[in-house]
Structure 1
Amino acid sequence: MSNWSRTIDILNKEETTRRIPVMVYLSIVFVIGTVGNMLVILVYFGSLWKLKGAHWTFIRAIAVTDTLACILIIPYEFYQQTHQLTFYSEWTCKCFRTTSVHITITSCLLLVIMSVNRLYKVCRPTKAQLSPRQAYVSIFSLEIVAALLSWPQVVNSGINLVQLENNITGYDCSFALTSMDKKHATIYSGVLFLGFLVCISALITIYGLIGHILRKRDTFKSKRMSVYRVTRSVVSVTTHKSTDLGDGTSDSENDMGEVNNSTTPYKTTSCKKQGSRRLTKIAFSISLCFVVSYLPSLVGTLTSVFSKDQTVTNNWTPAVIPISSRLFLINNIINAWLYYWLDKTFRSKVKKISSKLLLSKWRKVEL
């Protein structure tokens, strides 16, 4: 028995050595994601808590989901890489794989409903918008849907027995080996993949419509401004002639009054449009990163389900395939940096927090 344990441990260490690139990737993602998402929570749940509205409610929900992904999913993934052949706890396997799927589905649904909210905001800006309370109800409903969709993972996942050299059996946290469980896992993975494609199609359609509407408004605005400039020129010429006739009104005063009365509404409207477009750009960037990062993961899931070969056939397989199938974690760390690049207010708050932390550390060093 001791000889068997020593052998399986040696084989597991060899497998772990081949997966060092994966663990390096997970470590980098964990550090960047944890720091970035904690900053998002500190800002949007702290100094920017005053920002109300459904959009900011969804942003905060996404921040919480990303943080949970970093502190729950990544440690589990790291543990799995170091126990690729010695993962004995079936309950732990089922629990964490189900949690991972639940967080994935939640992220997807949150992005879809946030995008729908942006579309309605762009299409019907003067109508009653989704309130923060309605947004919370929507998030709670999404959590229920995600729980229902992730529950089959409890049945499908389990300890996969891997036949190794010298008639040794390894224990891997994956899909069960029975034909019925294999069939269920295949169907379930196909349903998730189909749902992902539906979400991708919805996001592409939504932002396509938003882009079309914004382009139409830009065209209308440019035509309207052209008419406005022509009208203003005619009024200016007419006013100049009236002044020459001695109507007692200063030409400069007339021009200033015309400019102030006419351009102020345009400036106000322009500021509102810039703010709306900024939020739309942020929502679009988040959705785009989601699509790009999750597609390799689901393709890898389908490949692992349909693959009949349980052994490693190439030296690069233990490094490349696990990294590509875990690229979805980028979606959970990139949002903080998108906010930093695209949102000036968030960037200024982060700089203030960083300066305070550096100042406090400097004072401690002096003391």
Structure 2
Amino acid sequence: MTTEANISDSDLLEQINSEVASLMTPVIVYLGVLMFFGVLGNIFVCYYYGQQTRRSSHAVFICTIALFDLVSCAVSMPIEIVDMKFYYTFTNGHLCKFLRFVNHVAAIGSAFTLIAISVDRFRRICRPLKKQLNLLKCKLLCALSFLLGLIYSWPALVFYKSVEVELNAQNGRILKGYDCSITNESNYRDYIWGFNFVYLITFMFGTGTLVVMYSLVGRSIYQHKRKLILSRPLSRRPKPVHADLDSTKIDKESSGIDNDEQGRASCARKANAMQLFAKCSKAEKKKATDINGDHHNKDKLNNKSIKYTMIMLVVASIFVISFLPYLVLVKIYTFEDLRDSLWGSSLVGYEIGLRSYSA
């Protein structure tokens, strides 16, 4: 009967790695589902807003968000799954650096794009008479978001690598494994702390900007809808156009003149008044139709803008909520090797939390 004492270190490491890989099955399934629907969904979004709709700031921003997410789903998630399968035997340091770098670029680029969208929504809804962002400026903002993603993410190429970890086997043997993680070298400790601190400050600033922008947008939308409801009955109220006819009737009744000539004149005046009434009624009806039609189109346009704003608000909220667990866990990991004390469902939850920003 083979015991752990008779197994080589490499075989024992493979055995432990297989056990952890089996434990990580929920994480792998989670990433696989996100990858499948993320790739299909973002390809469809890029095709629809890139080819089937007219060029607009909305389309540019949505395509940019979809491209960042597509890179995360098509490039990062497959490597994340490989990382889960080779939990303690991930020896490819260059692939590790590439994985973390792409993850950071996609996340930071998406964050700055969402901030740009919130500013655009604020200007269009709260400052509609001011000069708005044109198509070129929107493209430049998206390019700037990508550039900022690169600037914020380059330290990942330095700090992340295949880190050597010590594993305690059941028989007391110390095994040497390799994990794709942030370096534990003491001379990098201050730089890593600064790296995470910059991320934390940027996250707080970005979240604050989103909250302020969308709060002002929400207030403007509420005021707009309230004003629209109050103004509709007044704008559709018919105007009195039969004053001439009523005055003609009063003049006829009060005059008491009953000769034929006066009667014919009265009839002529009545006929003219009826024609005038018909023309005025027709004109007023047409005018009211035009006004109501204009209001309908304007309402429809505003509703479309409001709908787009609400979608972007939901996307931004999901991004902030999903990024928060990652930021907290990374911050804890900087000061304490939390993962070594975890096992079972707690370790699975920890790994899902670290990858929550991929959602």
User: TM-score, normalised on structure 2?
Assistant: 0.84
Q: Distance in 2 between matches of 1:125 and 1:108?
A: 25
1:42 aligns to what? 47
Shift of 1:159: 2.4
Task: Check if 1:178 corresponds to 2:185.
Answer: yes
Q: Show structure 2 runs of 5+ residues with no match.
A: 1-6, 249-269
Q: Against the structure 1 CA distance between its residues 180 and 242, is the aligned structure 2 distance closer, same or farther, given a 3 Å change threshold?
A: farther
Residues 317-336 of structure 1 mapped to structure 2, 5 A cutoff? 317-330=346-359
- One-letter identity of the residue aligned with 2:153: S
Q: Distance in 2 between matches of 1:89 and 1:262?
A: 68
Task: Check if 1:214 corresponds to 2:221.
Answer: yes
String of CA shifts for 1:31-59, please: whole Å, max 9, x gaps.
111111111122122222xx222221111
- One-letter identity of the residue aligned with 1:21: P
1:228 aligns to what? 235
- One-letter identity of the residue aligned with 1:172: D
**3-state SS of paired residue (1:128):** coil
Q: Show structure 1 runs of 5+ residues with no match.
A: 331-367
Q: Which moved more, 1:122-131 or 1:94-103?
A: 122-131
1:188 aligns to what? 195
Q: Against the structure 1 CA distance between its residues 123 and 194, is the aligned structure 2 distance closer, same or farther, given a 3 Å change threshold?
A: same
**3-state SS of paired residue (1:168):** strand
2:241 aligns to what? 239
Q: Distance in 2 between matches of 1:53 and 1:41?
A: 14
Task: Check if 1:123 corresponds to 2:123.
Answer: no
Residues 124-203 of structure 1 mapped to structure 2, 5 A cutoff? 124-165=127-168, 166-203=173-210
Shift of 1:310: 5.0
2:50, 2:59 within 8 Å by CA — same for their partners in 1? no
- One-letter identity of the residue aligned with 1:144: L
- One-letter identity of the residue aligned with 2:85: T
2:297 aligns to what? 268
Q: Against the structure 1 CA distance between its residues 105 and 239, is the aligned structure 2 distance closer, same or farther, given a 3 Å change threshold?
A: same
String of CA shifts for 1:2-21, please: whole Å, max 9, x gaps.
82211111111111111111
Task: Check if 1:12 corresponds to 2:14.
Answer: no
- One-letter identity of the residue aligned with 2:174: N
Shift of 1:160: 2.4
**3-state SS of paired residue (2:163):** strand
Residues 51-70 of structure 1 mapped to structure 2, 5 A cutoff? 51-70=54-73
String of CA shifts for 1:203-240, please: whole Å, max 9, x gaps.
111100001112222233333334434xx34x2xx224
2:34 aligns to what? 29
1:299 aligns to what? 328
User: TM-score, normalised on structure 1?
Assistant: 0.82
Residues 282-293 of structure 1 mapped to structure 2, 5 A cutoff? 282-293=311-322
Larger RCO, structures 1/2 (Cα 8 Å, 6+ apart): 1
Q: Distance in 2 between matches of 1:199 and 1:92?
A: 30
**3-state SS of paired residue (2:241):** helix
Q: Distance in 1 between matches of 2:103 and 2:10?
A: 30
String of CA shifts for 1:316-343, please: whole Å, max 9, x gaps.
222111112212222xxxxxxxxxxxxx
**3-state SS of paired residue (1:169):** strand
2:60, 2:139 within 8 Å by CA — same for their partners in 1? yes
- One-letter identity of the residue aligned with 2:72: A
- One-letter identity of the residue aligned with 2:84: Q
Q: Against the structure 1 CA distance between its residues 261 and 140, is the aligned structure 2 distance closer, same or farther, given a 3 Å change threshold?
A: closer
Q: Distance in 2 between matches of 1:307 and 1:223?
A: 59
Q: Against the structure 1 CA distance between its residues 214 and 114, is the aligned structure 2 distance closer, same or farther, given a 3 Å change threshold?
A: same
Q: Distance in 1 between matches of 2:107 and 2:319?
A: 10
Q: Against the structure 1 CA distance between its residues 327 and 313, is the aligned structure 2 distance closer, same or farther, given a 3 Å change threshold?
A: closer
1:239, 1:254 within 8 Å by CA — same for their partners in 2? no
Q: Distance in 1 between matches of 2:177 and 2:297?
A: 67
Q: Distance in 2 between matches of 1:142 and 1:93?
A: 24
**3-state SS of paired residue (1:162):** strand
String of CA shifts for 1:280-307, please: whole Å, max 9, x gaps.
1222121112112111121121122222
Q: Distance in 1 between matches of 2:68 and 2:290?
A: 47
2:241, 2:281 within 8 Å by CA — same for their partners in 1? no
Across the aligned residues of Structure 1 and Structure 2, the Cα RMSD in angstroms comes to: 2.1
